[in-house]
Amino acid sequence: MSAVVFYSATIWLAVLLGVVVIFLGRAGTTAQRILAIDLLTLILIGLLALAAQRDQRPYTLDTALALALLSFVATLAACRYYENRRPFS
Amino acid sequence: MTAIVAGLLTILGLVILTIGVYGVVRLPDVYTQLHAASKAGFLGVAALLAAAALQGGGAIVARAVLIVALLTVTTPVAAHVVARAAHRRGESLRTPGAVDES
Amino acid sequence: MMRLVTGAAGLGIVYVLTLASTDPVDLAVGVLLGALLIGLLGRRMRLTPVGHGLPVLPRILWFVVFGAVVLADIVHGAWDVALRVMHLRPIERPGVVRVPIGERSERGIAVSALATTLSPGSVLVDIDRAAGDLLLHVIDASDPDAVRDRLQRFYDRYQRRVFP
């Protein structure tokens, strides 16, 4: 992949990250915040995939795998806490 | 050739992710935002991972397949859990003209 | 027994993919670890027994058809939601629609929920066990009966032969 595509893609994803962070600060309800954090980790996984594509190093995708697993569990725990006022029922 | 396809897939992924983020910022309530956020996010990330897998060796392909399979199972569950929490806590449908049969 | 073998094999494949190695020793270790995990924890995660008695071979063939239909649904839904987000189609009446559970078993409910939530444009919100309904949030609920018809047709045509 050409360097132009890589750098512009990275900068664009960073801009999207910034937009989501601003939305996170202005969101009206708790569910919207949880949703924004979920979207934030998805964009981070996208950035890691870009980095793996450029460097050809598979270890970058290990990080993405761990991040995907962690964000899923975090979303579940946060929603349970929001719903029941305690994380484990 | 594969480099061109990978570049196109990368651009496709970026476009889908951008639509997702724009939808989250624009739409009025959690339920409609979920349609844009989690599904568009998943598809965009899948396109980016496919681009990485096209150019990488076996190790990258294996991990990309694993991540996409994992996201296929976890994204719907995460979306459902967010929607259920919002519904049980009584967050309202804020879109004008919304249908509510619950 | 069947459950233990297939589960252990699946977890072993996940283990090998995580390591990205083709060493048979790694596969053996992965299958062993998977069998250990399922033996220890499998009982806690059991759904109610299915007992459908569907023949195996047609079920596999129909699974391929089922997967293709779900994939087509995802592409179609993604296109629709993208157009709506980009102001090209109006978002007039999104909303929560009740869809009757019908003949679905516990596993059938889970598969239906996963398939509908995976395709953009519909999210499972809750299950109303007392009324026997699934509550779905769809992005175009201007005609709730059409949504109910579409899901019932999907179940009758494809899902019933794979995950009743």
C91 CB near a chain B CB, below 8 Å? yes
The partner residues of B13 in beta bridges, in order of sequence, read: none
- Whether chain B has a CB inside 8 Å of the CB on A56: the answer is yes
Cβ-based neighbour number of residue C126 at 10 Å: 17
Q: Using the beta-carbon criterion (under 8 Å), do B22 and C86 form an inter-chain contact?
A: yes
> Distance (Å) from the C-alpha of residue B58 to the closest C-alpha of chain A?
9
Closest CA relative to residue B56, chosen from B99, B19, B20, B3: B3
Chain-chain contact of B62 with C17 (C-beta, under 8 angstroms): yes
- Gap from B100 CA to chain A (nearest CA, Å): 19
Q: Is the CB of B70 less than 8 angstroms away from the CB of A69? A: yes
* pLDDT reading at C94 higher than 90: no
Task: Examine the domain organization and report whether C34 and C86 are in the same domain.
Answer: no
* pLDDT at residue C92, rounded to an integer: 73
Instruction: Examine the domain organization and report whether C39 and C60 are in the same domain.
Output: no
Nearest by CB: C93 against B73, B99, B102: B99
Q: Based on the structure, what is the number of domains in chain C?
A: 2
Q: Which residues contact A41 (CB under 8 A, 6 or more apart)?
A: A67, A68, A70, A71
Instruction: Say if strands B99-100 and C95-100 run parallel, antiparallel, or are unpaired.
Output: parallel
In this predicted structure, the answer to whether residue C47 has a pLDDT above a threshold of 70 is no
Of the candidates C17, C85, C124, the beta carbon closest to that of B26 is on C85
Nearest to B99 among C16, C18, C144 (CB): C144
Q: State how far the Cα of A89 lies from the Cα of C145, in Å rounded to an integer.
A: 36
CB–CB contact A50 B48 (8 Å)? yes
Return the pLDDT at C18: 82
Nearest to C75 by CA among B43, B48, B17: B43
C110 shares a domain with C91: yes
Residue ranges covered by each domain of chain A: 3-84
Same domain, C104 and C77: yes
Q: Within 13 Å and on the Cβ side, how many CA atoms surround B76? A: 22
Please indicate whether residue C43 or residue B39 has the higher confidence score (pLDDT).
Answer: B39
Q: Are C127 and B84 in contact (CB under 8 A)?
A: no
Residue B62 and residue C118: Cβ atoms within 8 Å? no
Q: Who among B57, B60, B81 is closest to A76 (CB)? A: B81
Distance CA A45, CA A28 (A): 26
pLDDT tens string C110-153:
888 888 888 888 888 888 888 888 888 888 877 888 888 888 88
Its ipTM equals 0.88
Range of the domain at C95: 56-161
B57-95 CB burial, b ≥16 within 10 A, e <16: eebbbbbbebbbeebeebbbbbbbbbbbbbbeeebebeb
Query: Which residues of chain A lie closer than 8 angstroms to B55, CB-CB?
Result: 1, 53, 56
pLDDT by position in tens, chain A (length 89): 578 888 899 999 999 999 999 999 888 788 899 999 999 999 999 999 999 888 888 888 889 999 999 999 999 999 989 888 776 65
Residue C62 lies in a domain: yes
My answer on whether C77 and C121 are in the same domain is yes
Residues of chain B neighbouring C20 (CB-CB closer than 8 A): 58-59, 62-63
Cα A67-B34-A83 angle, rounded to 5 deg: 80
Q: If 0-12 CB within 10 Å is exposed, 13-18 middle and 19+ buried, where does residue A51 land?
A: middle
Q: What is the mean pLDDT of chain C?
A: 82
Whether residue C50 lies inside any domain: the answer is no
Low-confidence ranges of chain B (pLDDT < 50): none
Q: Which of C85, C92, C138 to mutate to test the interface with B (most CBs of B within 10 A)?
A: C85
- What are φ and ψ of residue B91, in 5° steps? -70, 135
B80 to C123: CB separation less than 8 angstroms, yes or no? yes
- Judgement on whether residues C90 and C27 belong to the same structural domain of the protein: no
**C89 and C151 assigned to the same domain:** yes
- In chain B, the N- to C-terminal Cα span, in Å, equals 52
Do C112 and C138 have their domain in common? yes
B63 contacts C18? CB cut-off 8 A: yes
Within this chain, do residues C78 and C118 fall inside the same structural domain, yes or no?
A: yes
Task: Tell me whether residue C51 is in a domain.
Answer: no
d(CA A30, CA B27): 16
> How many Å lie between the alpha carbon of C18 and the closest alpha carbon of chain B?
6
Inter-chain Cβ pairs, chain B and chain C, closer than 8 A? 120
The pLDDT of residue A16 is 93
Determine the Cα–Cα distance for residues B50 and C121; give it in Å rounded to an integer.
Answer: 24
- Regarding beta strands C95-100 and C133-138, do their DSSP bridges make them parallel or antiparallel, or are they unpaired? antiparallel
Residue A77 contacts B, CB cutoff 8 Å = no
Residue A79 and residue B83 in contact, taking contact as beta carbons nearer than 8 Å: no
For residue B38, the SS3 value is helix
Three-class SS of residue C94?
A: coil
Q: With b meaning 16 or more CB within 10 Å and e meaning fewer, what string describes C86-101?
A: eeeeebebbbbbbbeb
Per-residue tokens: B73: 């199972």
Chain B residues with CB under 8 Å of C120 CB are 35, 39-40, 43
Helix (H), strand (E), coil (C) string for chain A: CCHHHHHHHHHHHHHHHHHHHHHHHHCCCHHHHHHHHHHHHHHHHHHHHHHHHHHCCCHHHHHHHHHHHHHHHHHHHHHHHHHHCCCCC
Q: Choose from A32, A41, A55, A67 for mutation: most chain B CBs within 10 A.
A: A32
> Does one domain contain both C61 and C133?
yes
> How do residues C65-90 score in pLDDT, each as one tens digit?
888 998 898 888 888 888 888 887 77
Residues C78 and C34 reside in one and the same domain: no
